[in-house]
Amino acid sequence: MLNIPTQSFPAPSSQQRVAPSGQSGRGKVALKPGHSLMDWIRFSKSGKDLTGLRGRLIEVTQEELQKHNTREDCWTCIRGMVYNVTPYMDYHPGGEEELMKAAGIDGTGLFDQVHRWVNYESMLKECLVGRMATKPTTAIKAIVPVPPVTCLAPPISVAPPREKDSLPWYDWFQTDVTVHVVVYTKRKIPSSGCTIVDLEAGILRLEVLLGKMSYMMHLCLAEEVEGTISVHTAFSVGKIQISIRKKAKGKWTSLGQPLEFHNTFLRKKDRAPYYRHCVMVSKTEVNHNTHLFRLQLPRGTIMHVPVGKHVYLKAFIQDSEIVRPYTPVVQHMAIASHQSSQDSDLYLMIKVYPDGVFTQHLNSLHTGDRIYVSGPEGMFTVRPLRDVTHLYLLAAGTGFTPMARLIQLALQNTDTIRHTGLLFFNQREEDILWRCELDELAANNDSFQVEYVLSEPCESWTGRKGRVEESMLQDFLNRPDGSKCYACVCGPAAFTDLTIGLLKQQGFSEGELCAFQG
């Protein structure tokens, strides 16, 4: 009997990730009527044999996999598991051309490039043929070995060997009323978004994001504690201290029992997303089809999503797990000094599609309802903006979402970024997101400029018209002598690809460009 893993999302070895912008729905093709996501869910649960093997699971050799490489007979392998994706061809939002790129081969790399966040284990579970006969060679290995499951009484014994001075390690100390955990990252750390802490039912999960790497502590604490925590960070020396109040006074003989992936240092993309239940606090209309959703983190969670990164939302819809990535925005476009620095809620600007399974579900939520939210994801970093003088943002539709916080960040750093320009593409005037706020921001800040471009304008529209093209960018971009420019692009895949190409024609190098893609 084959040892087939339980179909769950995310699988323990899953590497579901998405490109920096965290935007979904880009690069889609027009599906035939009756071939939506919900249609696929209903079809996959109809009891029909979608593998052609009448319910059998087999071991698939490399030679056998290669035989199934046609439109009418298409198998592919993702992380060691083989799926017959032939029935899914007409339901795939990216079209059959994208699926055929992985026909008869290991499609893990192609899958990760396009949409690592997709819960393929759930989506294709009825298409599962079996496991590859050869053992996958991409097993994830921790750089720091996981310690044996024993009590953590002497803290020094659980730290990595001290000769590995570049690796993070931790220590702990206590008083009669508090427990303090100290992480030494052994490097300078960014001023925000570095540490995510979750404390629930006595389980402490702490993740420190260090560039492309992730250090994690995961413990069942030895005694009961209060539900709130505090985090203090010494950024220049790379020291993070987490303080927790004990429920009962007294000394602990150990910190607790280590759990899965405790004391490990991995590439961030090799960790499966961790979800916590967040509460919907409010839903505010932005325009005729877009809302601003405000989500509240659990009491025992401390998390800040850095600028340009995204989170995953997960929901169970008709017994299927559906996941979508979204980039948090600001509460409003006013300068941050006018907003509460204590506000840790997430604000997500989401367009609700008439046939969108996930967005319709979100729109049906009421105040107090819960939804699963992951930690920060994505490879975007603000490091290239350190010495930029002119920042140009080109967005189409909901591609505006990662730009909102970039604008705010740029206006906070006027000592370096002297000019920020937003070229915002939409179909119609009523589609423009936060137009009044953007206009007000431009009126009150000489360093910020916004221009709108409509592809389907009304007769009274006096602004720019059409689609992105060379002469339009020539008018918008200004590269004074001695300036250092940077451009960010976000929108549908075709828009992003075309715009990046045009920017390169305008003299922008790879190091001066960021394409948010999803």
Summarised one tens digit per residue, pLDDT across range 272-329 is 899 999 999 999 999 999 999 999 999 999 999 999 999 999 999 888 889 999 999 9
At 391, which helix (H) or strand (E)? strand 390-396
**DSSP string covering 303-372:** ----TT-BEEEEEEETTEEEEEEE-EE-SSSS-GGGS-TT---EEEEEE--TT-HHHHHHHH--TT-EEE
For residue 471, give the 3-state DSSP assignment: helix
Q: What is the pLDDT of residue 11?
A: 35
Residues contacting residue 187 through CB under 8 Å, at least 6 positions apart:
166, 210, 238
Give the CA distances from residue 394 to residues 329, 397, 487, in Å, rounded to whole numbers and listed in that order. Answer: 16, 10, 8
Give the CA distances from residue 164 to residues 147, 184, 209, 214, in Å, rounded to whole numbers and listed in that order. Answer: 16, 13, 19, 16
Q: Give the residue among 258, 160, 163, 150 at the shortest CA–CA distance from 171.
A: 160
For residue 189, give the 3-state DSSP assignment: coil
Mean confidence (pLDDT) of the chain: 85
Task: Write out pLDDT tens, residues 489-518.
Answer: 999 989 999 999 999 999 999 999 999 875
For the cut 50, the answer to whether the pLDDT of residue 140 exceeds it is: no
What CA–CA distance (Å, rounded) separates 270 from 272?
A: 7
Give the amino acid at 6. T
Q: What domains are defined for the chain?
A: 37-132 (3.10.120.10), 169-270 (2.60.40.790), 275-331+344-377 (2.40.30.10), 383-515 (3.40.50.80)
Asked if 218 and 398 touch (Cβ cutoff 8 Å), the reply is no
Antiparallel, parallel or unpaired: β 464-465 and 448-454: parallel
User: In the structure encoding, which two tokens stand for residue 53, read together?
Assistant: 């093997």
Task: Write out pLDDT tens, residues 446-480.
Answer: 999 999 999 999 999 999 999 999 999 999 999 89
Q: What is the pLDDT of residue 148?
A: 38
Instruction: Give the global pTM.
Output: 0.75
Distance of CA 39 to the CA centre of its chain: 26
Contacts for 141-145: CB closer than 8 Å, 24+ residues apart = 142/261, 142/264, 142/265, 142/266, 143/167, 143/264, 143/265, 143/266, 144/263, 144/264, 144/265
Please report, rounded to a whole number, the percentage of residues in the chain having pLDDT higher than 70.
85
Asked if 513 and 420 touch (Cβ cutoff 8 Å), the reply is no
DSSP 8-state symbol, 490: E
User: In the structure encoding, which two tokens stand for residue 385, read together?
Assistant: 């903006």
Burial of 307 (0-12, 13-18, 19+ CB in 10 A): buried
